Amino acid sequence: HGLTTALPAALERGEFFIEYQPLVHLGDGSVRGAEALVRWLHPQHGVLGPDRFIPLAEHTGLIVPLGRWVLEQSVRQARAWRERYGETTAAGPLRINVNLSPCQLTHPGLVQDTVEILERAGVAPDALCLEVTESALIGADDDLLKPLRRLAEMGVDIALDDFGTGYSNLANLRRLPVSVLKLDRSFTQSMQRFPADPVDLKIVEGIVALAHSLDLAVTVEGVETGAQAEQLRILGCDTAQGWYYARPGPPDRLHDLALVDA
Ligand code: G
Ligand code: G
Ligand code: MN
Ligand code: NA
C-alpha cells in the first residue's frame, strides 16, 4: 500500500498536524480543554483523517513514534493554553485529551516517554488525559493495566473512549484506573431523534448513575445541537464535545471560545 510505505517519511518531513476539538462543561458552558486529533497533510491526497492512516501506522509499528509526536505536541499546546488562561478552568484543571492506540499501551516505553514529555514541557500531569478505547481494555490483565495505573497515580487522567460499544462487563470498570467515561457518539445520535428513544434515555441515565457512583465523570461525544446538549445535561452528563460547540480546528479556536465564555 502506497500510504503505508510513505508513513515514516511523512513523520520525518513534518506532514502530520493536530486539530483540537474543545471539551465543554455542560453545567455552565465553560471550556475545560480539548481533544487532540491528528491529520496527515499528504502532498498528493490533501488532508487525510486518522481513519485513513492510524490503522496502517498500527500495523507497521509507526504508531509508537507517531503517537509520541502527537503527545509531545499536545502537551506543549496544553502548556501554552495554561500560560494564557491559567491552570484551572471553572470545571477543573485545563486538560488536553490525547488518544492512545492499543499498540502504545503495550509498548514498554509508555510511562517513561510520557513522564519525559511532561517534564520537558514543564506541565503537571493533571494537564493530560489519555483516551483508551473500551475495546482495548476488554479482558485486560494486570500487565496491561500496570502502566495506566502508574500514570493515573501520577495524576494523569485516563478516559475510556467509545464507551458503550465494547460490551464490557460493567463490574469490570472498578478494576480499571479510569476517571472518565466517554460515551460513544451513537448515544448522542439517538438523542437527535424526536422524541428520543426512551430506552436509549434510560440507558444513558443508567450509565451516568453507575459512573457517578464509581466517581467517574461522563463526557459525551458528537453533540450537534443545543437540544441534544440540554437533554444530556438533564441526564447528568458532565462534559460534552461536538460540532454544536466547535469542529476540530487550530489551537487558537479554543482561544475564541474561551473569550466568548469569559
Ligand atoms: O475526528 P476524527 O475523524 O479526527 O477522529 C477519528 C478517530 O481517530 C478518533 O475517534 C480517534 O480515536 C482517532 N484518533 C485521532 N487522533 C488520534 C491519535 O493521535 N492517535 C490515535 N491512536 N488515534 C487517534
Ligand atoms: O476519539 P474519537 O474517535 O471519538 O474522535 C472523535 C471523532 O468524532 C472525530 O473523528 C471527530 O471529527 C468526530 N466528531 C467530533 N464531533 C462530532 C460531531 O458533533 N458529530 C459527528 N458526527 N462527528 C463528530
Ligand atoms: Mn477519542
Ligand atoms: Na470516541
Model confidence pLDDT, tens digit, residues 81-133: 999 989 998 888 999 999 999 999 999 999 999 999 999 999 999 999 999 99
Pocket test for ligand 2, best of 38, 221, 243 (most atoms within 8 A of CB): 221
Q: Does residue 151 contact residue 131 with C-beta atoms inside 8 Å?
A: no
Residue 208: helix, strand or coil by DSSP?
helix
Question: What percent of the chain is modeled with pLDDT above 70?
Answer: 95
- One-letter amino acid at 171 equals A
Measured in Å, residue 216 CA sits from the centre of ligand 1 at: 22
Interface predicted TM-score of the whole assembly (ipTM), two decimals? 0.95
Q: Does residue 188 contact residue 242 with C-beta atoms inside 8 Å?
A: yes
DSSP letter for each residue of 125-149: GGGEEEEEEHHHHTT--HHHHHHHH
- How would residue 262 be classed by pLDDT, with cut points 50, 70 and 90? very low
Cell numbers standing for residue 196:
428520543
Does 256 have pLDDT greater than 80?
no
| Segments forming the whole domain that contains residue 9 | 2-261
**How distant, in Å, are the alpha carbons of 63, 135, 222, 245 from that of 21?**
21, 23, 11, 9
Q: What is the pLDDT of residues 149-189, one digit of tens each?
A: 999 999 999 999 999 887 666 778 888 999 999 999 988 88
Residue 94: helix, strand or coil by DSSP?
coil
Which residue is closest in CA terms to ligand 1's atom 23? 99
Q: Determine the pLDDT at residue 260.
A: 43
Residue 240: helix, strand or coil by DSSP?
strand
Measured in Å, residue 181 CA sits from the centre of ligand 4 at: 10
Q: Determine the pLDDT at residue 10.
A: 97
Q: Determine the pLDDT at residue 194.
A: 66
Tell the residue number behind the cell numbers 503517537, with chain if given: 67
| Nearest atom (ligand 2) to Cα of 224 | 19
d(CA 68, CA 73): 9
The CATH number assigned to the domain holding 170 equals: 3.20.20.450
Measured in Å, residue 35 CA sits from the centre of ligand 3 at: 7
Pocket of ligand 2 (CB under 6 A): 21, 37, 99, 161, 185, 221-224, 242-243, 248
- For 55-66, what is the mean pLDDT? 96
Q: Determine the pLDDT at residue 258.
A: 59
Cis geometry, peptide bond prior to residue 195 (ω within 30 degrees of 0): yes
d(CA 23, CA 95): 9
Measured in Å, residue 44 CA sits from the centre of ligand 2 at: 25
| Nearest atom (ligand 1) to Cα of 101 | 22
Work out how many domains the chain is built from and give that number. 1
Cell numbers standing for residue 255:
482561544
Which residue is closest in CA terms to ligand 1's atom 13? 50
Measured in Å, residue 99 CA sits from the centre of ligand 1 at: 6
Considering only CA atoms, which of 261, 243, 258 is closest in space to residue 21? Answer: 243
Q: pTM of the prediction?
A: 0.95
Q: Does residue 235 contact residue 228 with C-beta atoms inside 8 Å?
A: no
- One-letter amino acid at 180 equals V
Which residue is closest in CA terms to ligand 1's atom 8? 50
